[in-house]
Amino acid sequence: MLIDVKNVSKAFRVPVRDSGFKNAVSGFFHRKYKTYQALDDVSFSIHKGQMVGYIGPNGAGKSTTIKILSGILIPDKGDCIIDGRVPWEDRKRHVSSIGVVFGQRSQLWWDIPAGDSFGILKSIYRIDDSMYKKRMNDLCNLFDIGNLLEKPVRLMSLGQKMRCEVAAALIHSPKILFLDEPTIGLDTLTKIKMREMLKEFNRQDDITMILTTHDLDDIEALCSRILMIDGGKIVFDGDMEQLKKRANSKKRIAIEFVSEAPDFSTEQVKIVSKEENRIVYEYDPMVVSAQEMLMRLVSERRIEDFSVENEPIEQLISRMYREG
């Protein structure tokens, strides 16, 4: 077991006051506080080499969890053991075994070439010359950054910068990589390339990755396991198929008719979109089957083609958030 979190809780006291100048002055002398429970009895375990998606709505407790795992915050109660260490008690050794990538923050120096930033990180992590040379060669080949080492970070495109950011987080051969929105702002092709690079690195080095993101395509493409947190509590732990079953995932059937599509719908079968002779229905496979639907529609119109698809993952998870 590489990461073992048991019954971790964390609360914050935040100042509160009513609006208005009078209340602002009063609050300066008699400040009121409200307790915000960020994490409430959170427990989970992660094995070496797993790629885990850690998802939840804003304010659910994702960032607080990552800060505890990385040793930045100390929980109010509970235990957290990572690779045999308590993160906040042995921070120096702990940070040498983890890498962190924040999609909206940089660990590279803005005005100097990326290669110089890598050199600074080499000194910080005390990597010997031969190991550093081999590591840089591997990272340059995998992330295609060899031609970027002499380029100042401020002159890079967002995609180039993110490739360098991930490489920088891996320069010291960490066992665990925390990825916070690693594809934010990237175009579709760059996102796909970044996902392929991360999967390949996980395959080569058996590195454990924990991904927090609102881009659910990242989760589908990268993660074999999903942890969902809401209101400071873990509300789901399993794979994508289990998540779909838990959420009573709906299916969609797109049908193309020879002539104009009929306006067929029931309480269990809803029309998602309709364009001339093409129509998309959404239905609950536990209530009605695709075969039943097709038999009903064939009796009314001739069908030219059809396809059955799962409910889009973004819609499924947003529905879970709304339903609590």
pLDDT digits (tens, 9 = 90+) for 140-196: 988 889 999 999 999 998 888 988 998 999 999 999 999 888 887 777 788 888 888
List phi, psi (to 5°) of 222.
-110, -35
pLDDT digits (tens, 9 = 90+) for 247-258: 666 778 888 887
Q: Residue 24's CB: how many other CB atoms inside 10 A?
A: 11
Note the pLDDT of residue 164: 92
- CA-wise closest residue to 49 among 225, 202, 218, 224: 202
Say whether 248-323 and 3-245 share the same fold. no
**What whole-number distance in Å separates Cα of residue 6 and Cα of residue 43?**
4
Spatial strand order of the sheet with 208-212 comes to 98-102, 176-180, 208-212, 51-55, 225-230, 233-238
**What whole-number distance in Å separates Cα of residue 54 and Cα of residue 227?**
5
H/E element holding 54?
strand 51-55
Note the pLDDT of residue 133: 93
Domain coordinates in residue numbering, the chain = 3-245, 248-323
List phi, psi (to 5°) of 289.
-100, 160
CATH number for the domain formed by residue range(s) 3-245:
3.40.50.300
- Give the residue-averaged pLDDT of 261-273: 75
- CA-wise closest residue to 227 among 207, 214, 241, 243: 243
Can you name the CATH fold of 248-323?
Alpha-Beta Plaits (3.30.70)
Model's pTM, two decimal places? Answer: 0.76
**What whole-number distance in Å separates Cα of residue 211 and Cα of residue 62?**
10
- Terminal C-alpha separation, the chain: 30
To the nearest whole number, what is the mean pLDDT of the chain? 85
Q: Give the up-direction half-sphere exposure of residue 278: CA atoms within 13 A in the CB hemisphere.
A: 6
Note the pLDDT of residue 23: 63
